Structure 1
Amino acid sequence: MTAPPAARLLHRHLRGQWPAMRRLAAWSAVESLPMFASGLLLARAVDRGFLAGRPLTGLGWLAALAALYAAGAIGTGRVYPWLAATVEPLRDSLVAEVVTAALRRMADRAPDAAGAGVSQVTEQAEAVRALVGTALRNVRQLVSAGAAALVGLTLLSPPLALVVFLSVALALAVYAALVGVQVRRYRAVIREAERIGETAAVIVHGVRDVTACAAESRAARTVGKVIDTQAGALRAYARTRLVRLPVLALGVHLPLLALLVLSPYLTAHHGFTAGQIAGAAGYLVTGLQPGITVLVDAGGTLLLSLAVVLGRLAEICTAPGAPPSVPPVTAESFGIEADGVTFAYSPHAAPVVEDLSLHVPEGTHLAVVGPSGTGKSTLANLLTGLLEPQRGEITLGKVPLPRLDPAQLRSMVTLIPQESYVFAGTLRDNLAYLRPHATAAELDEAVDAVGLRDTVERLGGYGTGIPPGGGELSQGERQLITLARACLSPAPVIVLDEATSHLDPAAEARAELALAGRGGTLIVIAHRITSAERAEQVLLLDGLTPVLGSHETLLARSPLYAELVGHWHR
């Protein structure tokens, strides 16, 4: 029989910790000695000591029990280091596998990869670590308390052990009958937690559009609805916890009550001694009751939660069946076309881009303008393949973007976003990132073209180190570094998504003209209307019908464009 995926996942991450687990089991056995012997020693202390008129003998048996409890305490103290040695490596290896799986899903453009991946790494992987640690502690208690009590009771009095065993079996049958309901309801809790991450990721990704459309209250309602759904799932799961009442009643309370009520009859007619009654009661109260309590609590929360979370992570970490192999295609030209493209950030959201058709011939200088919230940045991500449309198709050189070889697509199209990425390394490393073998002359040409020379001299040359995050570089200097990087790039298509927003108009004009003069296609998501005045073609996104034409054509044809131009120059 094949093990469930959750069990295989846990085994895979625990198999390197078997030495620690063997030591954990050995010290747990030492810890369970007092519970195993408590009823037997108590019965001897009562029957052969105190009731026989030999109090010193009775005290001797109790002293032996105290010694065993001291040994058990030593075992408990030695348990926890080996417990940590088992659980902590599990957390690290599991996080590594979950992160790898999340990145793979994002690379495959799974629609829920980002939000669900956050939940899986931050909540579910940490939950596995905590649950395994707690479960190991509680399973030890179940073994040391419940199992040891049953074994000890069997040695003390087989008839009593048989009655208690039947009552416990009935309690376990009741519990098993309701486990399925608990599993389904807790799985719903886990899935709703992931939906919160998915929904929040969509809204955060489109926060500029949310703000531009004054849709903050609608976004809050959307997230609130998902949170309320998870709260309902949690309440439904909490109701299943009532199963602990009949299980405890059948497994512990009923046998104990029967033993106490029938003890005079048992001692008078069936030969039971007072010590056996006291020892059996001790096993029920101090051994079996904690064991059954651990079972319903650990099984209803810890073990159940562990099974559900591990099952969900196993679904994520298991590589899906490989789709039919389709060899990637190489584009021979660099014209960009969009045919009936529609994109929305969630199935129930209004489209940000709707039924857009666009042709950008190779070598075109295009500016994209429009009011905030009309989807300009979304269009930039679509044209560069970072987002896929729900309808329609985008091609580069007549080849659909998903069919292109990913490495070729990244080498042919360079996107420079508004958030400038400057990494730790030398200035040369940052500038030549897209052309690692650039010569000093090529670096000088790009630096002079975009207006970065003053910054290079201030820093002390290309060999100067830049700390993480850019250090003391201003936002404008960081943007100039990324623009010089784009200028050095061999990519025939450059897309600037408000990548000059921290530059003054003169610096912006200089950088855009430098990028346009390098040849190839330049698409500028315009921060200022002057970017449109410099472009050969202008795409106006107005939320209704996109309009494409030259600056002069749009001035004549589009009142909105004329208003934008007039507003800017005023």
Structure 2
Amino acid sequence: MNPLYGQPGPRSTQDPDRERDGDTPGARRRGWSLVRPAVTAERSAVWTMLAWSLLEAVPVVLSGQLMASALDHGFLIGDSGTGLTYLSAYGAALVFGAFGTRQVMTPLASVVESVRDRLVRLVVSAELRRAVLSDAEADTGAVARTTRQTESVRQMTAGLLMTARTVVFSVAAVVIGLLTLVPQVALVTVVALALSGVLLVQLSRRLRRRYAASLAAEEHLSKEAGEVLRGLRDVYACGAAATADRQVGQAIDTQAAASMAVARLAAGRLGVIVVGARLPLVATLLMAPWLVRSGAATPGEILGAATYLITGLEPALRSVVQTVANVGLQLGVLLLRLADRVTVRSGPKGGSARAAGTHLELEEVTFGYGTHSEPVIEKLSLRIEEGEHLAVMGPSGAGKSTLAGLLAGLDRPDAGEVRIGDRSVEELDRAWLRRTVTLVPQESYVFTGTVRENLAYLHSGPGPEDGELASAITLFGLDELVARCGGTDAVIERPDALSQGERQLLVLARVYLSTAPVVILDEATCHLDPVAEARAEQAFIARPGTLVVIAHRISSVLRAPRVLVVESGTVADGNHQTLREWSPLYADLIGHGS
């Protein structure tokens, strides 16, 4: 897909405000879908991380059992040596757990960096597409804001994965340990965990909305402050400092109030710890006399159960409240925000049609850069037949490159219509359009890859044959450059080491080898000497298809049977004879002025 054109995002049947705030399952899935491919691609690292997490959970599993044995089989019967041996075993288990934690870091880093790299690519690509396609004034803070949010996602993902796996394995280890030690306490603990889970979900739903509102307020503050700073000179010149101060101040107050609302509700989630961990501990202490008298548990087992609850369950629930819930919530909202930025809905989307024929036509076309700017092109009608060779000339800023962009379907006219063949450009399939019309700008892009890959980049199918490739290399005078690189299958490691002229020749040969029937050269030979320029243009003249040359030199104009002269909003169209008579600029440039 051509990177200049974004695809519209999926439509939601939910309320748009709730969708934007991340308060619907569809919205949350849309946000998390940004990172899912990166995590899936690192599945081996995920499995490695889980394997080391099992070793990390060993101290939790053994803690209660070892404490119970140390008391029942050691200290309570006066055998301090045995008791200390069990405690030493617990210490050894902690060492094994620490080793597991250390080993987790490498696979965790692989997952997190993969997520970060994917998000950066998506966000930067989206901002570039938005800058190209949007008619609105550029948001200068967008890249900085989204980059900051992307880095926050990276840090939150690392913290979430690190803590979430610890919580899952710790809670499982506590429940298993209690079942083997004191099943009655295990039952009470499971019920308490279920109640704390319900409470956590309800609080998180409300907190998600408040956090989304806080993030929106932060973005609004950034936008308001940016607008005031950009127009600071005008603010003071108009005596509007008080108004600007009030405008930014209101945004600051709104953002502060939203942050306080998040903090107040977050504090209420301490109840999750009380319900999930403290209630089972209180219940254990209340049941202890009955459990010991009935023989259901020994004093050591009661201590072991308390150890599971204090050293295993409570820290896990604190992590849930302080890290997993908070970070997971913020991460979900941030991902949804980034998903909104990644989805570019503006710009020409194109249709699905293909044109019959490839003649180019402009009908009463007007185009200007900005709503209030003077039109660069106004009510221009022009037809270029299939296979025709047209040169366009005029002073800098006259609208030559604008005309090239309109003919190629890259720019949308403010009025009038651009057609290729029997179809409006708006109706055409964008992929078909890009294969049919190739615009070559002044700047030449050569990528790191083999010479063959660079030259065959625009060729449809498996690529040009060796003979065709060799012919194009000779035709454009690239034999010496290709030999210096090491042949057609040698890699161009540093494209920037090539001269601008060499890069232009490579790109021109690439377009020559393409199957595009319409080629537009927008001063694409400006870095070539006159001999190389003439050789390149003669190659395209002999090539089947339509050729439009935005002329850099008068020699390019003289090679074309038809010339378009653009100057100060006027357009003169004709051959050399008629233009010498009717266009003073043309006559002056070719040396026939009076």
How many Å apart are 1:304 and its aligned residue? 3.0
Trace 1:132-531 onto structure 2 (pairs within 5 A).
Answer: 134-149=159-174, 155=181, 158=184, 162=188, 166=192, 169=195, 173=199, 176-182=202-208, 185=211, 240=262, 243-248=265-270, 251-252=273-274, 282-283=307-308, 285-305=310-330, 307-308=332-333, 328-342=353-367, 356-362=379-385, 363=388, 365-372=390-397, 376-389=400-413, 392-404=416-428, 409-410=433-434, 412-422=436-446, 425=450, 430=455, 436=464, 443=472, 446-447=475-476, 452=477, 456=479, 464-465=487-488, 467-469=492-494, 473-483=498-508, 493-503=518-528, 521-527=546-552
Mapped to 1, the partners of 2:481 and 2:94 lie a distance apart of 73
Which of 565, 569, 575 is the matching residue for 1:538? 565
Kindly report the root-mean-square deviation, in angstroms, between the aligned alpha carbons of the 2 structures: 6.7
Matched with 2:239 is: none
Mapped to 2, the partners of 1:34 and 1:130 lie a distance apart of 27
Identify if the C-alpha distance between structure 1 residues 538 and 280 changes in structure 2 by more than 3 Å, giving closer, same or farther.
Answer: same
Identify if the C-alpha distance between structure 1 residues 341 and 445 changes in structure 2 by more than 3 Å, giving closer, same or farther.
Answer: farther
Secondary structure of the equivalent of 1:536? strand
Mapped to 2, the partners of 1:504 and 1:126 lie a distance apart of 47
Mapped to 1, the partners of 2:200 and 2:69 lie a distance apart of 36
Give per-residue Cα distances to partners, 1:185-242, cap 9 Å, x unaligned. 459959999xx9xxxxxxxxxxxxxxxxxxx968xx9xxx9xxx99x98995796356
Identify if the C-alpha distance between structure 1 residues 129 and 536 changes in structure 2 by more than 3 Å, giving closer, same or farther.
Answer: same
Question: Does structure 1 residue 63 correspond to structure 2 residue 88?
Answer: yes
Mapped to 2, the partners of 1:399 and 1:357 lie a distance apart of 18
TM-score, length of structure 1 as denominator length: 0.62
TM-score, length of structure 2 as denominator length: 0.60
Matched with 2:576 is: none
Secondary structure of the equivalent of 1:138? helix
How many Å apart are 1:357 and its aligned residue? 2.9
Mapped to 2, the partners of 1:276 and 1:459 lie a distance apart of 80
How many Å apart are 1:367 and its aligned residue? 1.5
How many Å apart are 1:142 and its aligned residue? 0.9
**Contact persistence 2:390–2:548 (CA under 8 A):** yes
**Contact persistence 2:389–2:546 (CA under 8 A):** yes
Mapped to 1, the partners of 2:83 and 2:485 lie a distance apart of 88
Give per-residue Cα distances to partners, 1:9-57, cap 9 Å, x unaligned. 8777767887876675565344324324434544664577556655445
- Percent identical among aligned pairs is 31
Mapped to 2, the partners of 1:495 and 1:340 lie a distance apart of 19
Unaligned runs of 5+ in 2: 1-24, 223-228, 235-246, 574-578
Trace 1:67-86 onto structure 2 (pairs within 5 A).
Answer: 67-73=92-98, 75-76=100-101
Give per-residue Cα distances to partners, 1:49-103, cap 9 Å, x unaligned. 5566554454344234334434544554665677678x489769x959x87xx79
Question: Does structure 1 residue 548 correspond to structure 2 residue 592?
Answer: no
Secondary structure of the equivalent of 1:496? strand
Secondary structure of the equivalent of 1:135? helix
Matched with 2:57 is: 32
**Contact persistence 2:440–2:520 (CA under 8 A):** yes
Mapped to 1, the partners of 2:532 and 2:49 lie a distance apart of 67
**Contact persistence 1:431–1:481 (CA under 8 A):** no
Identify if the C-alpha distance between structure 1 residues 237 and 547 changes in structure 2 by more than 3 Å, giving closer, same or farther.
Answer: farther
**Contact persistence 1:45–1:57 (CA under 8 A):** yes
Give per-residue Cα distances to partners, 1:494-525, cap 9 Å, x unaligned. 32222232245676577667756878654333
How many Å apart are 1:359 and its aligned residue? 0.6
**Contact persistence 1:498–1:527 (CA under 8 A):** yes
**Contact persistence 1:337–1:396 (CA under 8 A):** no
Secondary structure of the equivalent of 2:354? coil
**Contact persistence 1:171–1:251 (CA under 8 A):** no
Mapped to 2, the partners of 1:59 and 1:414 lie a distance apart of 81
Secondary structure of the equivalent of 2:164? helix
